[in-house]
Structures are given as structure tokens and as C-alpha cells.
Structure 1
């Protein structure tokens, strides 16, 4: 069964990037009908998942700490590429797309992946154990990054309180990058005992340890396919951007749902890996993946988008609305109460999943004033 599953993964990961390039060649410069739009959507998701898979292969060869950085950069390239392309093609209504995508990533990881890890990990024994010190450090970093980049703009007074001024945006970009870099060094430096992975009861499966490192030839092929997949993702986003924006507008859906559509597929491999680790009673791995993904999404995406904003015509709105701030505050409080004891039951997992569900429901059907700051 395991061999069959691995063979299936290898097949789609090898065929995904060239298939995406083929779809890109067929659809480039054409008006997309329903069939072609469906083909572009499928190819785009397949290329994104293939890119994450091949980044993982390269990461296993590189080993830690640079392996996690390879994965983070690959995910960031996909996110930023999609954000920038959609913002340049979608007009003023996409000015908040960077905010929506980063916030979606935070909610999906901190509530979705954490919730699933706890729910699956607590089955049988009823309790999931993890390292509260390291996990608390990671949570503090995620909460600080989210507040500095997505909450502070609401109170700056610029553009109805949603937009950083250029000096403020520069500060947010630099501090995001520095905090992410400091956390990465802390995980591998003299303070390794504070790493989320440092837990005796439930040692995680880390990149380069759980799986046999690939050969140089396999990693080289994955690197080539990774570059091809990333290029295909950006190209397909460019092709499908007008149709995506138009479909959201015609369906009378808020633009925040596009952020969920960008973050969801990119984070899907991490969610699957977290659930599989939790099934092996390695709950800490799921928490590492969740908080690490959230941290990378903010710490790398915000600086990249800040640089890209130099060439963007419209504004870059980063401030969260009242409903989003309430959900963020509740998420942080619940996660603190989950992390502090170092043990969690299925109830805590259910609470996190309930918060994710509330976020998705409010994205689809928001309160009329949810995007207007008070």
C-alpha cells in the first residue's frame, strides 16, 4: 500500500509541471471559456502541489535548517506570484489580496492544521502531548508577526486606517524578515532546547531524518521540475486572473475568498503531512508544520509583497477589519490555552476547527461592515 501510494505521488509530481506548461501554452493569450478555465484551475493546483513536493525532495537532500528554508521559499514564491499577478490584473478590488492571503494562511495553519493534528493525535489515548516551551515560542512569534503586519495598519490612520505609509511598510517588512530569521536560527543554534521539535515524549519526524535523503540525480531532477512548476504557476495565474476576478465578482462573493483559494492548495501538503504524523503519535510534527508555515507565510510574504508594491499601481491594504481582528484575538487566546499545559484533548482540536469553520463561513458570507475598521 505504501509503495503504491508513493508511486502515485511520483507519477503526478513528475507529470504535473510539464502538463501545466502544456496547458499554459494552449491557453496563453486566449479568452477562457468554462472548459479552458477548468483546465487552467486544475493545472494551476497541480503545479502548485508538484512544486511543494519537489521542494520537499530538495529539502531532504539539503537537510536542516536549510531544508525548511527551501520549502518556505517555494511556498512564498507561489503565494507572492499569485498575489502580484492577481493584483495587477484585478484592479482596485484586489488591493487587500495580500492581507487576505496571509490571514487565510494564519487561520488555516493555526486553526486547521493544529486542530487536525490534535484531533487525530488524541485518538485512542484521549490526550496529545507536545513541547509547550518550544511551541509557545513559535506561537509568540506568529502572534507578534500577525499583529505587527496585519493589525497595526488598522490604527495608523492612513487610507481609512488600512494602509501602511512607506516608512511603516518598510519597518513591517524588515521586522518580519528579521523575526523569521531569528526564529530559524533559534531552532538550530545554541537554544535548540526551545525548538518546538525538542520534546522527549514525542520526537518529531524532521526533514532529512524520517526519509532517506534522495540521490543528487533525483534532487537535481526535482530542482528542475520545481523551477518549471513555479513558472507554470505564475503563468497560469496570469492567464486565469481576469476570469478568477470576474467569477468572484459575478458570484457576489467577497474578495477575501480569493485569499483562501490561494493559501489553501499551497498549504494542503503540509496539512496532509501533519495528519499522517499525528496518526503515528507525532503530534509535535503537526504543530511544527502549522506554526512554521504561518511564520513563513508572514515573515517572507510581507517583505516580498512590500518590494513588489513599488511596481504595483494601486494601494496595498494590510489592515484587518473588525471581524477578522476578533477571530485573530480568539484564535491567539485559544491557542495559548491549548499550548500552555503541553497536553491537549480532542476538545481543543475541535475548538480550533470550529474557529476555522467560522472564518470560512464569514469569508463567504461576511457581515456587511466586516472590512470597515472602527
Structure 2
């Protein structure tokens, strides 16, 4: 959705539908069960949820453009994080406790973003423009922060001694949560204020159209709050559909994490691919890598607090196979983005790694 011009009809229709759906299932005390009607309900729920997430991101972008940086970026990030935490916490606390969901979702976000989305953007741009330029200095900052965040949240829990297995102790989890928030905060300041020129293709171009009116800003603010509240309220029904779908097809536990990751990444993914088609690969990289950093930097601490308050175990450490894929992904991203120029081969290599990740989820 464009942030300029008339407000798209879908940006208010889907939030309205989500509220009506929640009121309806609450009034009827409906609980999802696998049946013909149940699967029709599941299809409608997924369509409305996806549309509402798109609407929330659109309204956050409208408001973010008006309030400027760094608050605009922070607002957009917090909006997506609220949606992600609501979905993860609800599924984790469902009838079948999923202690690995936060880990699976974070890992899925990194793999989808750094391989699937980055690869597709580079391939689409390369097919149309042969080669595209990006800011190597900005990419280095992205990847250095992502490397540290991914290591301390997804790999280090396997090698600590205070608690056995892929689990941090309460003290360790608290320390890591503070460290990730601090690192993300400094990165956000660097990106939006201190070294903003590292992350834009043309430092002299800030906007591509007129600013939204005050009336539009007020309406977008209200619809953003409604959209976020609606997603949070429907998260319980979404978790029931995920559990039933996974049981129906015999999907592995990581399937739920992939579904949550796809739901929250879809709006930014569409925007990133569109930017690559307009020969603005830098914006694509900003959206893609920014999503993965925000997911670890904000979602992990939020889920850690929820797990601590509700006395639930939080498994973060990856199995050996997935650690190898994570290391391969980060190394490949450094090689791809470090040169400052991309072509279709870089994109294809990333997509091959993404295909390997998806295949191994179902055939480990």
C-alpha cells in the first residue's frame, strides 16, 4: 500500500472485519475444530489476519513518515513486534505448550529474510537491471549487529554451563535480553540519526510524495491501534488453527514458527520486492535486514519477560543442523552485500539456501 494519495479501502476494511470476526466468535463461544465449516473459518481467519497485518503496517508507515526519524522507525518496529509477540505468546501458552516457538520463529525470520527475501529482491533487480548498487558500509553494520544477536540468542544457550541443554538460566536470559535491547537501540540511533547516509541510496532524497494531512494522520493512528488490538485478540483462534493444521498434515514443530514468521514478514516483504523492481535495492535491504534485527532485538526480550512471568520454559538454542544453516546464511550475506554490487547469481545462491532450509524442515 502506498502511504501517499487516498487511503486504500483495504486499510480500513480488514481492521473492521477482524473486529467483527472477534465479536462474532466471542458471542457464539466458537472454538475451532477440524471440519468443513472449521476449515472455511480458518481460511477466512487467515485472510483477515493477513489483511489486518498489512493494514497495521500501512498505518504505521503513514504515521512514521509524519513524526520523522528515529521515532518513525521505532513506531513501525514496535507495531510489528507487538503482533509477533502476541502470536508467539498465545501459541506458547496454548493447550499444547510449544517451548521452542520463539526460537523457531526467530530462526525462520532470519532464514526467510536473509535468504528468501534478500535472494528474491536481488534476483528480481538483477533480471531487470543486470547489476544494482547498495551501501556496503550500511550492510556491514546490519550484518555485524545481526551476527552478534543471532549468536547470543540462538547459539550460546547450547554452550552455557549454569543450566543444561539449549536453555538460559533466569539471570543469563535477563542479561542477554538487556544486551539485545541495548544493541538494537544503538543500532537504531546509528541508522536513523548518527550515520543515516549509510542506509540511503541518495542522501538528498527523503520523501517521494506529499505529506499526509492531519486528518489522515489521526485516522491512521486510530486504525493502527484497532488493527494491533484486533490481531492480538484473534491470536488465540490463530493458535488453534495452527495446532490443528500441524496435526492434520503431520508437520514438525518448526512449522508454527514459519507460519508466524511469514505472517509478520509479508507486508515488508512485498514492499522490499517492489523497491527492488524500482531499482532501489538499498531500501529492500533496509526493510529485510531491519526486520531480522528487530525480531531478535525486541521480540526475544519481550517473550523472555512473558515466559518468566508465566513460569514457562523458553528454549532458544538451535540444533546442530540449524546452527550450520545459520552460519552459512550469515557468511553468505557478508559475501553478497560486502561488495556493494549485486547480480542474479547472488540472488540465486541465497534462494538455493532458502530452499534447503524449507526442505530440511519437513525432511530433517
TM-score, normalization: structure 2?
A: 0.92
User: 2:122 maps to which residue?
Assistant: 118
**What stretches of structure 1 of length at least 5 have no aligned partner?**
368-374
Distance 2:248 2:212 in 1: 47
User: 2:275 maps to which residue?
Assistant: 277
Distance 2:162 2:319 in 1: 14
User: 1:213 maps to which residue?
Assistant: 211
Distance 1:146 1:64 in 2: 26
- How much does 1:159 deviate? 6.3
Indicate conservation of the 8 Å contact 2:140/2:334, yes or no: yes
**What stretches of structure 2 of length at least 5 have no aligned partner?**
33-37
Any idea what SS the aligned residue of 1:10 has? coil
Give matches, 1:174-213, under 5 Å: 174-193=178-197, 195-197=198-200, 202-203=201-202, 209-213=207-211
- How much does 1:196 deviate? 2.5
Q: Deviations 1:246-299 (Å, cap 9, x if unpaired)?
A: 321232111211111111122112111111211221111111111111111111
Kindly indicate whether residue 138 of structure 2 is the aligned counterpart of residue 138 of structure 1: no
Q: Deviations 1:88-111 (Å, cap 9, x if unpaired)?
A: 11433x111111111111111111
Indicate conservation of the 8 Å contact 1:78/1:233, yes or no: yes
Which of 300, 315, 328 is the equivalent residue of 2:298? 300
Indicate conservation of the 8 Å contact 1:49/1:265, yes or no: no
Kindly indicate whether residue 44 of structure 2 is the aligned counterpart of residue 39 of structure 1: yes
- How much does 1:224 deviate? 1.0
Kindly indicate whether residue 57 of structure 2 is the aligned counterpart of residue 52 of structure 1: yes
User: 1:148 maps to which residue?
Assistant: 152
Indicate conservation of the 8 Å contact 1:97/1:258, yes or no: yes
Distance 1:358 1:238 in 2: 31
User: How many residues get paired?
Assistant: 356
Give matches, 1:249-264, under 5 Å: 249-264=247-262
User: 1:371 maps to which residue?
Assistant: none
Distance 2:232 2:13 in 1: 18
**Bigger Cα displacement from structure 2, 32-41 vs 60-69:** 32-41
Indicate conservation of the 8 Å contact 2:158/2:317, yes or no: yes
- How much does 1:231 deviate? 1.2
- How much does 1:344 deviate? 1.5
Indicate conservation of the 8 Å contact 1:114/1:287, yes or no: yes
Give matches, 1:65-84, under 5 Å: 65-84=70-89
What is the root-mean-square deviation in Å for CA atoms of aligned residues?
2.1
Distance 1:24 1:249, change over 3 A: same
Indicate conservation of the 8 Å contact 1:152/1:319, yes or no: yes
Any idea what SS the aligned residue of 1:122 has? helix
**Bigger Cα displacement from structure 2, 248-257 vs 319-328:** 248-257
Distance 2:53 2:171 in 1: 33
User: 1:129 maps to which residue?
Assistant: 133
- How much does 1:60 deviate? 1.3
- How much does 1:124 deviate? 4.2
Distance 1:52 1:158, change over 3 A: farther
Distance 1:139 1:205, change over 3 A: farther
Distance 1:181 1:22, change over 3 A: same
Q: Deviations 1:328-364 (Å, cap 9, x if unpaired)?
A: 111011111112211121100111111112212222x
- How much does 1:312 deviate? 2.7
User: 1:87 maps to which residue?
Assistant: 92
User: 2:35 maps to which residue?
Assistant: none
